[in-house]
Structures are given as C-alpha cells and as structure tokens.
Structure 1
Amino acid sequence: MLVWRRPKCAAEWFRHWMVFSRETFSCPFSALATAVQSDSSSGDEKPDSVLGNKIIRRQPRGLSSDSIVQTLRCLRRKPAVAFAYFKDTESIGFHHDFSTYSEIIHILTHSLQGKMLISLFCEIVSPTGSGGPEILALMNHLRRTCAAPHALSFAINCLIKAYTMCHDAQATIDMLSHLCRLGYVPSAWACNFVLKFVAQSSGTEMVVAAYDQMKCSQMTLDADSLNIVTRSLFKAKKADEAVQLWVEMVEIGVKPHGYSSFVIGLCGCGKYDLAYEVLQWVSQERVPIEAVAYNMAMDGLCKEMRLEAAEKILELKAKQGCVPDVYGYSYLIRSYCKIGNILKAVDHCEAMESHGIKINCHIVGYLLQCLRKLGKTFEVVVHFEKFRDSGIYLDKVVYNIAIDAYCKLGNMNEAVNLLNEMMSRGLVPDRIHYTCLINGYCLTGEMQKAQQEFMKMLKANIKPDIVTCNILATGFGRSGLFMEIFDLLNLMMAEGLQPTSLIYGVAIDSLCKRGKLSEAEKLFYTVEEKGIDNIEALHSAMVCGYLNSGWSNYAYMLFLRVTQQGNLVDHFACSKLIDDLCRDENVKEASDVLSMMLKKNVVPDVVSYTHLISAYCQTGDMSTALLWFDDMVGRGCSPDATVYTVLMNGYCRAGQFQEAWKLFDQMVKLNIKPDVVAYTVLLNGTLKETIQRGLQGFAKERRRYLLREKHQKLLSSMEGEDIEPDVQCYTVLIDGRCKAEFLEEARVLFDEMFQKGLTPDVDTYRVLIDGYRRQGEIRKAEVLQKMKDKLTSPDV
C-alpha cells in the first residue's frame, strides 16, 4: 500500500501529485482524494462502521472545507480535474459547504465549463437532489468576486438552463427576477431561452406574463424575444395583441427581423388586411420577405375575394425580386374562376406561362369548371382537348369535367371514349365518373345503356351512392320504366343504401301516372310509418300524385295533415295545389294553402299569387283579390304584367273601368311593360264601358266618339311599344267597330289580319257576322258564315 504524506505547501503537493499521477490514477479517484487530503498521522483512522446491512461512511479526518478549497485553487487550471475531485470528495462522504461550492463555481465559470457548471447547478437547485447552499447567496458571492463580466453572464446562463431542467416555467421566471434584484442583468440569450422554455411548456398567457415581467425588470429584450412572444400569440389566435406588442417593441427601438414569420402569423389568424399593409410597408423599406409569406397573404385575400389586393401583392413580390411561382397565380386563377371571370383567369394563365411556369392539372380544372358553370359546354370540350394535346398531365377530376361536358352535349360516344382513354392512362374511374355517364344516358333517354353503366359500376366493386340512385330513378320515372324503379329500390336495400324521399317520390309519382293510386298510397303510408329523412319530399310527392290523378281534395286534406304536424310540402307542391284548387273553383281552400305558407315564413311566388288573385277575380270578389295583390307587393314579390292584367280584367268584368285604368297607369309608372294581352283587356273593357253608358242613356254619337278615341289611344300606345295585335286583339277591335256601327273599319281590320299572316278564329268571324246582321247586310253575313263553316269543318 502506497503511503503518501500530505505536503506542507500546495506547490510541494502538486509536485508530488505529478510524480505519482501514473500510479494514483490507476486506482479509483476516491482513494486519490482521500490520500491527497490524509495527514501523516491518519494511520489510526477508523474504517467505516457497519450498522446492520447499511454502511455508514465516515468522513476522513483529513478532509475539511479549507483543505478542499486549497486543493481546488491548486487545480484552477485543470477545471475537469477540479470538478472530478470535487465530486469524488462528495462521494466519500464529505459535505460541501458554501466555501467549497463557491470555489468550484468560480473555477468552472472562469474556464467556461458549461456542461459541468449546469450539472453542478442542477444538483444545487433540484428539488430531489442532495441540495447545497442557497443558490442566490452563491450567485451573489460570485457577483462580488468575479471580475470578468463575460464569465458572470456565462454563469447566469448556465443557472437558467439548469433551472429549466429542474423546475417549471413559473419557478424559472421567478429565479430570473430574483437575479435581477441582486443586480444581475441577464443577457438577451438568457431572456430568450426562458421565453422559449415558457412557450414550449406553458400557455400563451404565461409567455406574455413572462415577457411583461422581463420588461418591468428592464431585462435585455431583442428581436428574437419579439418573435418568440408574437409566435406564441399567433398560435393562440391573438393577432391583435401580437400587433400591439410589435408596435411597442418598434417604438422602444427594437428593430424586428422576423417579418416573414409575422406576416405568416397574421395570415394564420385571418388578418389578411394587416398582412397586406405590412407587405406594402416592407416593400417600401426593401426588407426581404420569404415567398411563402407573400403566397399565404395572396391565398387569404383570394378567399375573401379581394382580388385586386391579391394582384397588388403579386406585383410587390416581383418588385422584391422573388421569383414568381405557381402558387400565387393558382390562387388568383382559382378565385377568378369561382366568380365566373374567365377572361381574367385566362390572363393570369398567360402571364404565368410567360414567366416559364407550367400550368398544372389543378389550374386546368379551375378553368374547365368555370366554363362549365358559365354554361359554355362546347368551350369545355375545346379547351380540354387543347390542354390534353399540349402534354399536360390531367387527373381524374379534369377528365370527369370533360366527360360531363360530352354528356350534356349528348355526345355519349365521345364521353365513353374519354373514359376509356382515362383508364388507358392508368387512371381508375370512380363513382363520380360512372354517375356522370349514367346521368348523360338518362338525359338522352337511353335508359338501357344507363342501366349497363350502373351494372359495370357494381361489377367494378364501386358502390353507388344516393346521388347515383336518385339520377337513375329520376331517369326511370321520366321514361315510364316503373318496374325498374322498384328493382332499383330492392337493389339499394341489398347494398345497404337507404332510399331517399326523392326515390320514393319518383316511385309514388310513377304509380299515380299508371293509375295505381291505391298502390301509391300504400307505399306512401308504409314509408311514412317507417320513418325517413327529409320526409317533406315524400309528402310533396304524394300531394303531387293526388293532383296528377285529379284528386285535389285529397291533396288538400293531406296538406292540412302535414301542416298540422308542423311540416310543409315543398314550394312546387304548394304552387300546384293552389293552381288546381283555383281551377276547381275551391278558392277558399287555395287561400288557406297560401296563408299557411306565409305562417311557415314561406313566401309564395308571383305565379301562386296570380292564380289566387285570378280565382277571386273570376268570382267577382275584387276586394279580396286586391288584398292578396297588396300582400304580394308588401312581401317583396315584384308584380309582373300578368298579375296586373288579371286584376284589370277582373275590374273590367265587374264594371269598375276606372280602377282598371288606374292599374294600367300604375304598371306603366313602375316600368312594367304591358303586353298584347293587357292591351286587349283594356280594349275590351273600353267596349264594355261604352255599352254600359248606352244603358245609362248616353247619346249614341257620344258613345261612338269615346270608343274610337280610347281605342285609338291604346293602339297608339301599342305602336309606341312595338306591340303587334294578335288574333284576340283584332277580334276585340272588330267587335268594337261593329257595335259602334263602323262596319267598313271592322272589315278593314279583318282584311288586315290576313295581310299580317294571322288567321281569324271562330270568335272573329262571329263578331263580324253579328255586326253585319245587326246592320241588315245579310248577304255579307252569309258569305262570312260560309267562311266560318269551312274553318270549323272536320275536313279542314
């Protein structure tokens, strides 16, 4: 055993240590630490005692805080050895105190031994560690004894890093604040390290609180600090707070450098206006911005349809020297196609190609879809062929648009050829492609081929959806293939598809058209009892089925039951019900239907109002007819020439001719152009008014003058509106001339009809024949009667 006595001075010890280093380092360092610190009189040192199974390690007599500090000072130029010595003395049972900790911290700090210093700090501050002196006291001692500012800053950084490893965000922030109160000024790195740690481990509120605390403590904050906090705020969708913080930092002199991330953050929060303003400002300041920031701002503005601003960003991007890419142009093209501005979309496509950027299949899809929505089906085919021939890769979506266009054009052969071409290019058709073909065949009435495509779809293990089945069922219904509808229903059940109300409605309608109303009712009640989504469609189908069968009373009773249950049939069924009830002179019931629609906040269309108003006019109830007219206008429905004509005719029938003229003047003032029917009603009304005045005792010549004057006024108005009289109008004019005893004028009008290519009808002949007979010109009346008989002869 090597006996090594302690030298009397550090220099002598260090010389001995160098001599025996080879031998001593071959044994555990704990033995070396004991040997270095042992006195020559340590031979009587007692070994460790054993209590039970636990070994109680006794501190060697030679180890003391002073001796360890002295040894550490000798090892200042060997920080790794010093730290190993410090740890080894601890492992043999020595409890380090303030002086030894201070010395080793001093050594590691000045030698910038980060890993060792962080490890040491972790032992001191760890809640589960062996503990040590109070860390703030150690740091305060270091501040007083450390002459190098960079070393002191290094120690603080290591302490903060150790704290983040051992404590939570709040404890780390508190430690940083305590250091500030001791007079430390943490570096920007330390502040940013803490902010990053808080951002990763806590919420946005904690990050903002940490930032505010640092700011109040006058810590060093820089552009990186700003980026960390704003990024956290953007992540929490607190864009307004991020902008406010940004402005505050700029005002205190911090020059931001993360403009790209700031713009991206604004876009992520939907603040595209602010992003646009920032991009405009940085463009003036010539601050470099990443292309992704420009693209995100453009994407957002395009989604908001602020396309001029998006185009401005594209210009700013070019001015900044950013190479144009496919994304910005794609956003603009997509948006212009969405609003139907195909010309602007094509302009951007050309600009894109002028920069050497290739058009992709997505852009082709935008263009073709736009043309399809605009109803330019032929142009869809032309452009598709142009893009295909140019060698651009086209996906299944683009092919489907082209197939749909061929189907709408009725060119099913080309549609099928296109599907085969798509398959030859390795693209597998899906449900949408087959549905498109099925719809095309249904539109052309080729239901057998539609069924064949449907079977191909099933054989390819492509499950049809409700849309496919609805299209096929509707096609069957239009073609009168009633049994096929029920076959489709059974197939849907087998495939696990729940038939929709539309399909059941088609089946009910088909049964009603075949005269099988009882079977339609049975199906209806079965489905209603079982329950189905969108049951209003089922009710609507049954109401229409009753109406198509001529049972308007049954349709009305079903309507009432559905309404009492809180539902309402669709708008078409309501309108048809009102029309049929009015036709069957059930005006009150029709009025009830319209009233119930209004209670359900469903505003009827002008046609439904017109049918009801016409029905009341037929009964002579003009006050109720006018009430419904005013209700229609009050609910925002714009009256047309037809409803005005119906009311004018009603007033004329009721002998209220002045009211009819008032309506005519009102219609003209509202810029509603009267048609030939409206003029015919007024011409006929004027004639009736003349007859009425005759009954009231007006002189014959006076009546003739008024009739001629009013008819001429109306004819002049018609001529000014470029409205030509039709057969009914000529008939009224001829009747008026005959009753005013202007037979020559009546005959001129009759001959004028032939000159204009109009064929007089039975009523035209009748009024002229009656006129001649009243005047005693029997021969002329007989000639016209023969012409009338030829007109009505079955051989003609």
Structure 2
Amino acid sequence: MLVSLFCEIVSPTGSGRPEILALMKQLRRTCATHALSTASNCLIKAYGICYDAQATLDMLSHLCRLGYVPSAWACKFVLKFVAHSNGPEMVVAAYDQMKRSQLTLDVDSLNIVTGSLFKAKKADEAFRLWVEMIEVGVKPHIYCKMGNALKAVDHCESMESHGIKINCYIVGYLLQCLRKLGKTSEVIVHFKKFRDSGMHLDKVVYNIAMHAYCKLGNMNEAVNLLNEMVARGLTPDGIHYTCLIHGYCLKGEMQKAQQEFVKMLEEDIKPDIVTCNVLATGFGRSGLVMEVFNLLKDMMDLGLEPTSLIYGVAIDSLCRQGNLSEAEELFYIVEEKGIDNIEALYSAMVCGYLNSGWTDDAYKLFLRVSQQGHLLDNFSCSKLINGLCRDGNVKGASDVLSMMLKQNVVPDIVLYTPLISAYCQTGDICTALFWFNDMVGRGHSPDATVCTVLMDGYCRTDQFQEACKLFDQMITLNIKPDVVAYTVLLNGAVKETLQRRGQGIAEEWRHYLRAKHQKLLSSMEGEDIEPDVQCYTVLIDGLCKAEFLEEAQVLFDEILQKGLTPDVYAYTVLITGYCSHGEITKAEVLFQEMKDKLMTPDVYAYRALTYGYLSQGEIVKAEDLFQEMSQMEDKGMSSDVLTGSVSQQKTLKS
C-alpha cells in the first residue's frame, strides 16, 4: 500500500512530486528507525516503477543527503535495476557513488558489482573488491562458483606480483573452491605454490591440502603436512586427525586409522561425533565387529552419545558376520531406549535382514516402522524392492513404493525400474505401464534402462509394435539406446516373425525377419554400437529359426573373430538349429567344442542333440547322451523331460 501511495505522489502526472523530499524529511524527525527503513525502501521501489535507473539512483543519493541510511536491500534493488537497464559501466559508477556515501552492501550487491567490473573488462578492480569481500568474511559467488577457480588463482597470483597483497584466508577460499570442483591434484599444486612463496598459511589451508592428499591415497604426504604444521608452530586439532583417519579408512588401513584415533586421545584432543562416525564406518566396511563395539565403549567413556549411524554400522557388521540374532538384540535395545534419527537404525536393520537373506523379515519391519510414521532411506527401500522382486513378491515391492509416495517421498528412477521390470517379467504389462507413467508424471525423465525394460515387457506380451513405438520415442527424446535395447528388439522381431509363420504366411516370413534384423543392425551401426555375445546369440537364434543356417554359422564365427567368447547359450542356439534341420554332425562338433573349452552344456543343448539322434534313429547315441546327462543331475540338471522320449523310441525299435 505504501509503494502504491508513493507511486501516486512521485509519478510524473502526480501533484505531490516536489514535496516528497520534504515529506521524507518530516518522517525522519517523527518516525522510529524501522519505520524509516520501510519508508525509504518503498520510496526507492516506487521510483523504480515510475522512473528510469538514473532517477532512482539520484533519489537514493538525495535520501543519503537527508541523513537516511538506505538499507542493504535498497542498495541491491538499485544496483540490480541499473545492471538490467544501463549495463556494467553505470553499475560501477553507482557503486562508486554508494561508496562515497559510506553505504554498506551485502554479498548479493557486491556480486552484482564484481560481475559488472568483469564485463567492463576491469578485472583488477574486480579482484581488489573480491579480496576485500573475503577479508571481511563475505563469500563471493564469482569465478569459483562458475567453475573458473583456476582463473581466479591466476588473477590472485598476478595481483600479488603487482603488489596487491592476498592472505591465507583468500588462499583457503580458492583451494576450497578447487576441492569442491573435484580438482584434487590442482589443490596440491597451488598449495605448494603459495606455501613456497613464503606466504603464511593457517591450519585451514593445511587441512584442505591434507584432505587432497588423503583423497589421492597419498597418506605419507598427508602425515608429512601434519608434521610440517607442528614445525611451523601450528597446533593440529580434531579436524586434522579426522582427515587422516578418513584417509586411512578409505584405503582400508584400519590399524593406522585406529592409531591416529589413539594419538588424538593421548594429545588430549577430544574426538567428536564426526570422527567416531568416520572410524566406525571404516571398521564396519572391514568387518571388524569387535572394534566397532570397542569404539562404542570409548564414546561412552568420553561422554559422547553414539549416533544412529554408528549403531547402524554395528548392526550391519553383525549381520555380515552371520550374527543376525545379536544384531536383532542390539536393534531392539537401541529402539526401546530411543535415539535421534532413528530412521537410520531402521534402515540398517532392514539391510541386515536382506544381507542375511531374510527378505520377509525385512518387509515386515518396513511395514511396522512405516505405520509408525518413519521411513527408510532410499538405498534401503531400493534394496528391499529389489529383494522382494527377486523373491517373486511383486505386490510387496509395489506396497513399499506406494508407502513412500503416501509419505510424500518421491522415489527416484532407480526405485521404479526394478518394480517395472518385475511386472514386465510376470507379463503384467498394464501394472508396469502404471508405474512407468507414475514415474514420468512425477518429473522423472525415463532413461535407456527403464525404456528397455518396458520394451522387453511389450515383447513378452506379444506387443512388438508397441515396443517399436517406444524405441522411436527414445530416439525422439534423445535417449540413446544401448546394445541391450537393440537385443530386446531383435529378439522381439524373432518372436513376432514366428507368430506370422504360425498364422499361415508362407515363405515371406523368413525374409521379413531378415529385413527387420538388417534395419536394426543398420541403426546400431549408425549409433556406433557393437553387438555383444548376447546380441549375436539372438541374431543366430533368429537365423536358425528362419532356416538361414549358413548365415548363422558366419555370425558365430564372427564372434570369435572379434575376440569375444561365445557362451553356453550361443552354442546351444546353433546346436538346436543344426539338430532341427537334421545336420547332426555339425551339432556334434559344436557340442564337443563346448566340452573341450571346459564349458558345461545345459539341458537344452543335451535335449536338442538327444532329439536329433532320436530323429535319425540313432538310439544308442541317444541313450549314451541321456546317461551322460543323468550324471549331471547332481549339478542341478534335470533329465526327466527326455525320459519318456528315449523309452518310447526304444519300444518302437523293438
């Protein structure tokens, strides 16, 4: 309302414009400070609505001359207005005017100015201001935010060579920017450069360099830096020791990590929760259960309350050691006692059940804690959904996802994919589509994996054309299909072609399949995608079923020529093809080749060759092969499917 009133007063058509300064002068004598600030802000905004940037800047100056101290918001408003309307040169002029009025600018205002200085090609001035900002504790958003930290370092070095002094605070900020950008090696290079220049560096800068060495796995240099700090009169604190402990944990050198922890205690440096979390996680990953529990005891002695993360590590470690009952006992004790962030504890126990193969117990715990209003983390939910899908409990996996949505947690695409895949594998394409559409409706862009899963579902339910439509949509949306996607379509083409044959379409079905495969292979070549063994196997299977056996053999040889290794399935589809067309000798050669390569033929290879012998009337060979397969039963191969056929042939011959 006040902005509207001021707009009426100061507008070019208004009657009260000359009196506005007199009004503001009167307000300054009679109003409280906060009311004055509000009035000046509203007046500046009104000028921004009614006039140009120069007029608005002039009004700000008039207020200063009246004794007003415009707020940081007002200064930012004017600078932003000037930047949008007049360009960088006037922003710099406005900043100079504000400096003369001794106005205080916030970080956003200073960033507008530095950005304008760079645009005006006044980099030295921009970096002078940038240095001033850092020295007073303001963190600028300029080069380092944009990812040009190396350029910022070069400018600082150039400024120093021109006598513009920089200090360890600026160096620390630059190195931190490099670290956040993942430029770990550059952190070390520039740390050495600044250190060797004789500049005084503080503990923060040393910690950043130590972190970089730890991340690169160079623990000797990290320790050397700690010793160098001490030699320079800087006393290491818990952050430096935690850095070393984390580095050793990353390398799996838990004994050395524990030694650093003990050294902290000996030097009377109290570890904090972060230190203990890092060490506990390292112990857990290395399977050192007793060390985790000893750390819990140490924390109690130090007066530190163990976090849910550390209890979770203990539970996970017990489960991985096969001590599920002990993990459950600890879980119930901690749950009953109560703890902050208890969801981490629940997540650990669910993962513990899953790691032990107790999927039903994990699911029951999930349901219980969800009904209490708690929710597991995404990793645990993803693992639970995968476990339920693997065990055939697709309904349970669907319930987990539904429960997440009910609690306003939007799952990521990784959580949707196994559920969509499970429904596709069961042939329930409608429910798979429901979850796919739900995923897209919640703002997730499909990736190649989930699209391929859905295409496979279409092919399984005899909807090859729908799979092709989805493939075309992938291309339109710039989702690059991989070799798996092409393999699914190639296999779908085989299935569709066999249906055409069953519907009575004559010789043309064979050439239809070849044309489909050639089109897909040309598309693969255009995308620079090479077929893998699975892709070749599908192609060979299709050619065998279409009675192009010579071409199938050529493809099989191509696998070997490319340095790939055909697996059992590749051999089996070609053996089956030869046996189906009475070329038993060629099938026998391939079968023996598998054995020579120490590959165990599967039941389908045995079945194909046995039927081949039976069709040729070679009962003895069939019997011998049948007996050989019977000896494989201990390895999980069932021969029952062939028993009737062999016996029937023997009876017929007798």
- Normalised to the residue count of structure 2, the TM-score between the two structures is 0.79
Distance of 2:139 and 2:278 partners within structure 1: 34
CA deviation vs aligned residue, 1:621-656 (integer Å, no higher than 9, x gap): 111111111111111111112112212222222222
1:129-144 superposed matches below 5 A: none
Where in structure 2 are the equivalents of 1:163-182 lying within 5 Å? none
| Letter matched to residue 425 of structure 1 | R
Q: 1:387: Cα distance to partner?
A: 0.3
Are residues 1:530 and 2:331 paired? no
Structure 1 distance, partners of 2:411, 2:241, is: 38
Task: State the 1:501 CA deviation.
Answer: 0.6
Tell me the equivalent position of 2:611.
none
Q: 1:230 to 1:620 in 2, by over 3 A?
A: same
Among 327, 331, 347, which residue is 2:132 paired with? 327
Over 3 Å counting, the alpha-carbon distance change for 1:691 and 1:418 in structure 2 is same
Provide the C-alpha distance between the structure 2 equivalents of 1:661 and 1:236, rounded to a whole number of angstroms: 65
Closer, same or farther: CA 765–433 of 1 in aligned 2, 3 Å: same
1:664-713 Cα shifts (integer Å, max 9, x gaps)? 222222221211111111111111122222222221x1111111111111
**Counterpart for residue 776 of structure 1:** 582
Does residue 361 in structure 1 map to residue 168 in structure 2? yes
By how many angstroms is 1:338 displaced?
3.9
The change in CA–CA distance for 1:239 and 1:415 in structure 2 (over 3 A counts) is farther
How much does 1:600 deviate? 1.1
Aligned partner of 1:428 in structure 2 is 235
Q: 1:422 and 1:690 mapped to 2: Cα distance?
A: 74
- Show CA shifts across 1:467-489 (max 9, x none): 11100000000111110100111
The whole-number CA distance in structure 1 between the counterparts of 2:503 and 2:303 is 78
* Matching residue within 563, 573, 586 for 1:757: 563
Deviation at 1:491, TM superposition (A): 0.9
Aligned amino acid, residue 768 of structure 1: L
Report the residue type matching 2:476 in the other structure. K
C-alpha distance in structure 2 between counterparts of 1:575 and 1:640, whole Å: 17
Which sits farther off after the overlay, 270-279 or 733-742? Answer: 270-279
CA apart distance, 1:405: 0.8
**Counterpart contact for 1:310–1:332, Cα < 8 Å:** no
> Does the 8 Å contact 2:44/2:60 carry over to 1?
no
After the TM superposition, which of the residue ranges 333-342 and 637-646 deviates more from structure 2?
333-342
Q: 2:70 aligns with which of 243, 250, 266?
A: 266
1:582 aligns with 2:392: no
Asked if 1 retains the 8 angstrom alpha-carbon contact of 2:159 and 2:165, the reply is yes
Distance in 2 between the 1:751 and 1:286 partners? 75
Within-5 A mapping of 1:494-573: 494-573=301-380
Distance 2:386 2:29 in 1: 69
8 A Cα contact 2:44 2:74, kept in partner: no
Q: Does 1:715 align with 2:521?
A: yes
Match of 1:733 in 2: 539
Residue in structure 2 matched with residue 133 of structure 1 by the alignment:
none
Identify the residue that residue 742 of structure 1 maps to in structure 2.
548
How far 1:225 sits from its partner (Å)?
9.5
Measure how far apart 1:302 and its partner are.
Answer: 4.0
Q: How does 1:251-400 map to 2 (within 5 A)?
A: 265-269=69-73, 271-274=75-78, 290=99, 293=102, 296-297=104-105, 299-302=107-110, 307-309=114-116, 326-328=131-133, 335-346=142-153, 348-350=155-157, 352-353=159-160, 355-400=162-207
The Cα of 1:739 is off from its aligned counterpart by 1.3
Per-residue deviation at 1:341? 2.7
TM-score normalised according to structure 1 size: 0.65
Residue by residue over 1:345-391, the C-alpha shift from the partner in whole angstroms, topping out at 9 and shown as x without a partner, is 23542563365211100110111001101111111111001100111
Aligned pair 1:690/2:494, yes or no?
no
Q: Is the 8 A contact 1:377 1:405 kept in 2?
A: yes
1:419: which partner in 2? 226
Paired letter, 1:240: N
User: Is 1:240–2:41 an aligned residue pair?
Assistant: yes
Q: Which residue matches 1:119? A: none
How far apart in 2 are the matches of 1:246 and 1:681?
65
Structure 1 runs not aligned, ≥5 long: 1-217
Aligned mates of 1:221, 1:709 — CA distance in 2? 88
Pair 1:292–1:345, CA change in 2 (3 A): farther
Say if 1:445 and 1:588 are closer, same or farther in 2 by CA, change over 3 A.
same
- After superposition, what is the alpha-carbon deviation per residue over 1:183-212, rounded to whole angstroms, capped at 9, x for unaligned? xxxxxxxxxxxxxxxxxxxxxxxxxxxxxx
Q: 1:261 to 1:387 in 2, by over 3 A?
A: farther
Structure 1 counterpart of 2:307, one-letter code: T
The one of the two structures with greater contact order (alpha-carbon pairs below 8 A, sep at least 6) is 2
* Contact 1:734 1:750 (C-alpha < 8 Å) held by counterparts: yes
Alpha-carbon contact 1:442-1:472 (below 8 Å) kept: yes
What's the CA shift string for 1:25-45, capped at 9, x where partnerless? xxxxxxxxxxxxxxxxxxxxx
Corresponding residue of 1:35: none
Which residues of 2 match residues 631-642 of structure 1 at below 5 A? 631-642=438-449
Greater radius of gyration (CA): 1
For residue 317 of structure 1, report the CA deviation from its aligned partner.
Answer: 11
Distance apart, 1:337 and its partner CA: 2.2
Report how far residue 238 of structure 1 moved: 5.3
Match of 1:451 among 248, 258, 276: 258
The alignment status of 1:785 with 2:591, answered yes or no, reads yes
Superposition pairs of residues 7-156 of structure 1, within 5 angstroms: none
1:313 Cα deviation (Å)?
Answer: 9.9
Rounded Cα–Cα distance in structure 2 between residues aligned with 1:720 and 1:376? 36
Q: Percent identity?
A: 65
SS at match of 2:557: helix
Q: 1:230 to 1:327 in 2, by over 3 A?
A: farther
Contact 1:606–1:637 (8 Å) recurs in 2: yes
8 A Cα contact 1:324 1:355, kept in partner: no
How many angstroms does 1:312 deviate by? 7.3
Three-state SS of the structure 1 residue aligned to 2:508 is: helix
Q: How many residues align?
A: 568
SS in structure 1 at match of 2:271: coil
Structure 2 partner of 1:174: none
Q: Please give the alpha-carbon distance, in whole angstroms, between the structure 1 residues aligned to 2:141 and 2:133.
A: 10
CA distance in 2, matches of 1:516, 1:286: 68
Change over 3 Å in CA distance of 1:442–1:771 after alignment to 2: same
Render the CA deviation track for 1:41-63: whole Å, top value 9, x for unaligned: xxxxxxxxxxxxxxxxxxxxxxx
Give matches, 1:159-238, under 5 Å: 232=33
Contact residue 91 and residue 113 of structure 2 kept, 8 A:
no
- Distance of 2:60 and 2:433 partners within structure 1: 74
For structure 2, the residue ranges without an aligned partner over 5 or more in a row are 1-18, 49-54, 84-88, 601-654
Is the 8 Å Cα contact of residues 37 and 71 (structure 2) preserved in structure 1?
no
- Which whole-Å CA distance do the structure 1 matches of 2:599 and 2:546 have between them? 31
State the distance in 2 between where 1:431 and 1:454 align.
Answer: 10
* Deviation for aligned residue 1:779: 2.0
Contact 2:178 2:187 in 1 (8 A): yes
Residue pair 1:352, 1:358 contacting (<8 A) in 2 also: yes
Q: Distance in 2 between matches of 1:450 and 1:371?
A: 26
**In structure 2, distance between residues paired with 1:285 and 1:544:** 60
2: CA distance between counterparts of 1:283 and 1:237?
A: 26
Q: 3-state DSSP class of the match of 1:539?
A: helix
SS at match of 1:271: helix
| Cα offset, 1:255, TM superposition | 12
Structure 1 counterpart of 2:408: 601
2:134–2:170 Cα contact (<8 Å) kept: no
